[in-house]
Amino acid sequence: MIPDDTIAAISSAVGAAARMIVRVSGERAHELARSLCNGAKLAPGRAERCELRMRGFALPIWVYSFASPHSYTGQDLVEFHIPGNPLLASMLLEELLGRGARSAEAGEFTARAYFSGRIDLTEAEGVAATIGAQSEAELRAARQLLAGELSRRLRPVMDSVAQTLALVEVGIDFSDEQVTFLSPAEIVEQVKQADGLLAGLLEQSARFERLSHEPRAVLVGRPNAGKSTLLNALAGRDRAVVSPAPGTTRDALGADVALPRGLLRLVDVAGLEDEPSSNEIGRQMHEHALREIESADLVILVHDASGAAPRFMPPRAADLVVFSKADLVGAIPVEAGAVAVSAVTGENLAALRHRLDELAFGSAAACSTLALNSRHVRAIEEARLALSRAIDGAAGAGELLAVELREALDALGRVLGSVSPDDLLGRIFAAFCIGK
């Protein structure tokens, strides 16, 4: 199954690009490395210093070599660790291609790891998710996939369904001889137990899609409350126009705010009054703002602590109340849970960031949950449907029961990749970047 041609790619940068890695995997990996590195021994599992010779110059580099099957791809593999110069990396890659290697496609190294049985499909997805993780929660969930947590939880269910299926099939073979290996009640009990484990897995797991989605928070308040100034202060750049004239912000505009555990999309909208103004522009501004408030994950209500205006009541309950312009007033008696800040002096902005981080990414103490992607959820739900049909037909013909149990097993097998159609694999590995 695993192709034997030799692939090469620039893989990654290490230590803020101080070093770059070019990887080559396949039957000719060692031969190609020897032809480029003068006198390299390439002892498996070892790093060695050697001289890279190409296009008339020589450069000291490190090479790491691995012999099949003890490598990431399961094949012979060599990594060239070279000084962090992208030009140098592409020259080396070209040299390898000129000597017979093929340019690796996105995810092809990991695809080879999968085909050689080094990792299962959920672990491969863990590699992709780790590369693409934008927040700590996503990274933690990706690490769990990578560590094979989903396989560990699914395997006992698959074993139990396979065992029931085996006994049902023996029953079919001996059906003329009046021997029963499993009574319908026992079948129902075993299948229900397996189904219960799957239900629990779905219930206790988070959804990767939800983790991958960048949380959005909208700043809401009366005109001149200091929303745009706050956006600029949190984003660390002058994204929005600020002025003492009320009604400065008209369109919604967003900026990414880097919080300790990930990025938060913060959206600034036009200031709102209790009633939209009667003119056309005012009406449109009001509507845009309401739409943003509706679709946001979090509503941050900004109230001008130095002003006398009554507090604005947003159409959706606020997740956090912020009193702005704290520098203009003395001590502000803030209600429990609210934060008083000054975007001008920076007072309490760190505390505000901390609160936003908690709201966007959950409390820091929350334990890491297993996250499933929509492919996992769909397959597990299919398996559950087949199991419920098996329960309904437990008293009937063994052949039909066997069909349902096999279908459940196939669906679960697809999660781990034991019975994956090629197009499914193609889609998963295409989401990778080249060199992984």
Ligand X SMILES: Nc1nc2c(ncn2[C@@H]2O[C@H](COP(=O)(O)OP(=O)(O)OP(=O)(O)O)[C@@H](O)[C@H]2O)c(=O)[nH]1
Can residue 248 be called a binding residue for Mg ion (CB under 5 A)?
yes
d(CA 373, CA 137): 14
d(CA 43, CA 66): 8
Q: If contact means CB under 5 to 8 A according to the sort of partner, which of ligand X, Mg ion, none does residue 107 touch?
A: none
Instruction: State the first-to-last Cα distance of the chain, in angstroms, to the nearest integer.
Output: 19
- SS3 assignment, position 63: strand
Side chain identity, residue 131:
I
Least separation in angstroms between CB 231 and Mg ion:
8
Q: Which residue reads 């000291």 in tokens?
A: 60
Can residue 338 be called a binding residue for ligand X (CB under 6 A)?
no
Least separation in angstroms between CB 240 and Mg ion:
6
Q: If contact means CB under 5 to 8 A according to the sort of partner, which of ligand X, Mg ion, none does residue 229 touch?
A: ligand X
d(CA 301, CA 288): 17
Asked if 301 and 220 touch (Cβ cutoff 8 Å), the reply is: yes
Only segment of 1-9, 90-98, 183-191, 238-246 that touches ligand X (CB under 6 A): 238-246
> Who's near 303: CB < 8 A, 6+ residues apart?
221, 222, 225, 311, 312, 321, 322, 323, 324
Only segment of 59-67, 148-156, 339-347, 417-425 that touches ligand X (CB under 6 A): 339-347
Q: Nearest CA to 80 among 107, 59, 98?
A: 59
Only segment of 60-68, 137-145, 223-231, 288-296 that touches ligand X (CB under 6 A): 223-231
Give me 386's structure tokens: 């087949």
d(CA 219, CA 205): 31
Can residue 160 be called a binding residue for Mg ion (CB under 5 A)?
no
Give me 303's structure tokens: 């109230």
Q: If contact means CB under 5 to 8 A according to the sort of partner, which of ligand X, Mg ion, none does residue 224 touch?
A: ligand X
Can residue 228 be called a binding residue for ligand X (CB under 6 A)?
yes
Closest CB to ligand X among 50 and 343? 343
- H or E stretch including 62? strand 57-66
Q: If contact means CB under 5 to 8 A according to the sort of partner, which of Mg ion, ligand X, none does residue 327 touch?
A: ligand X
Can residue 246 be called a binding residue for ligand X (CB under 6 A)?
yes
Closest CB to ligand X among 328 and 434? 328
Please pick, from the candidates 65, 151, 249, 348, the single residue that binds ligand X as defined by CB under 6 A: 249
Closest CB to Mg ion among 65 and 249? 249
Please pick, from the candidates 249, 324, 348, 373, the single residue that binds Mg ion as defined by CB under 5 A: 249
Contact footprint for ligand X (CB under 6 A): 221, 223-229, 242-244, 246-249, 270-271, 324-325, 327-328, 342-344
